[in-house]
Amino acid sequence: MQARSKISEAKKREVELIKGIIGKYKTIGLLDLMNLPSPQLQEARKKLDVNIRVTKKRLLRIALNDIDKGVEKLEQELNNITPALILTNQSSFKLAKDLRKGRSFVAAKAGQIAPNDLIVKAGPTSLPPGPIIGELGSAGIKASVEQGKVTVREDSIIVRSGNVISGKAADVLSKLGIKPMEVGLNLVATYENGQVFRKDVLDIDEKFYLNTLKHAVNEALNLSVNSGYVTEENIELFFRKVEGEAKALESVAYAERDKVINAISSGEKEAEKIFDLIQTENQDQNQHQEGGN
């Protein structure tokens, strides 16, 4: 509480206000406002069913550590961010999904960090010939003029992921109409029902998750049916499997029956041939004996 005693009355009131707000909501989240233009923040406040509170990081630390509900677990997420509180009664994952929908892409600015490799793809541009050819070349982009337009001859990485975007690179990207910087409310973590959900969990691809879940269910059903473990969920599949096996067995039985019939028929024909040969041989012997007499 030593830190509390060193802050002004206004800041103490802010701490108490933050604590009061936190106590009213089911889900408490932390946003990182670094590089977020003010219009995007104001737009989010209008469109989303959330309460966003921008306050100083030090006061937010004090407030989080002053609350006896486990929410102090969020305090360690405050490092290296420009924080704001986002509060809602929706689930953490619904909040994260809504924030992803509100994201957009804007042009890069000098001094920003590349979120990934910034690539200029090969192909024609809308730029007319002129000094731009030299500008592209100085940025490491091979270009030529084709049919009166500037054309990039091959894919070029002009800024590597994690590197600072130079003024020259930002200018070239802007002239090419490339907007690589995703802006929107950056949700760092949330606290809900005693558990902290961090960005790597909240940003999971919904389609990938559903497809993975469907695959796991199908694998479990196949395993239970093939092992003969009957449940309410797999009983229909189990009967289909038994029915299929019965039909397959019936087909095999018919096939074997046909083989037996064919074998008997073939044996009868062979027996008839042998019988005919014996009769012919007996007739020849009788004729030979009669001729000798």
Same domain as 253, residue 126 = no
H/E element, 54: strand 51-54
pLDDT of residue 7: 65
Distance between CA atoms of 44 and 265, rounded to whole angstroms?
86
Same domain as 239, residue 151 = no
The torsion of the CA quartet 79, 85, 90, 91, rounded to 10 degrees, works out to 10
pLDDT of residue 165: 92
Same domain as 282, residue 220 = yes
Nearest to 66 by CA among 8, 12, 10, 9: 12
pLDDT in tens, 205-237: 677 777 888 888 888 877 877 777 777 777 777
Cα–Cα distance list, 117 to 110, 114, 141, 161, 276 (Å):
15, 7, 14, 4, 91
The helix/strand/coil state of 185 is: coil
> What CATH number should be reported for the domain holding residue 172?
3.90.105.20
pLDDT in tens, 63-122: 988 886 778 888 889 988 899 999 999 999 999 988 888 888 888 889 988 888 999 999
Q: Which two tokens stand for residue 158?
A: 């002009």
Range of 126's domain?
A: 118-182
Distance between CA atoms of 149 and 78, rounded to whole angstroms?
49
171 assigned to some structural domain: yes
Same domain as 177, residue 45 = no
pLDDT of residue 190: 94
**239-251: average pLDDT:** 70
∠ CA 178-180-186, rounded to 5°: 150
Which of 137, 170, 204 is the C-terminal boundary of a domain?
204
Residue keyed to tokens 């206004």: 10
pLDDT of residue 197: 92
111 assigned to some structural domain: no
pLDDT of residue 87: 94
Residue 268 has pLDDT above 70, yes or no: no
* Contact status, residue 233 vs residue 225, Cβ threshold 8 Å: no
112 assigned to some structural domain: no
Instruction: Identify the band that residue 291 occupies on the pLDDT scale cut at 50, 70 and 90.
Output: low
Instruction: Identify the band that residue 289 occupies on the pLDDT scale cut at 50, 70 and 90.
Output: low
Instruction: Identify the band that residue 286 occupies on the pLDDT scale cut at 50, 70 and 90.
Output: low
Model pTM above 0.85: no
pLDDT of residue 218: 80
Count of the separate structural domains present in the chain: 3
Same domain as 198, residue 55 = yes
pLDDT in tens, 177-202: 999 888 888 899 999 998 999 988 88
Same domain as 273, residue 173 = no
> What CATH number should be reported for the domain holding residue 79?
3.30.70.1730
String of DSSP letters for 128-160? PSSTHHHHHHHTT--EEEETTEEEE-S-EEEE-
Same domain as 279, residue 225 = yes
Q: What is the mean pLDDT of the chain?
A: 82
63 assigned to some structural domain: yes
Same domain as 62, residue 141 = no
pLDDT of residue 2: 44
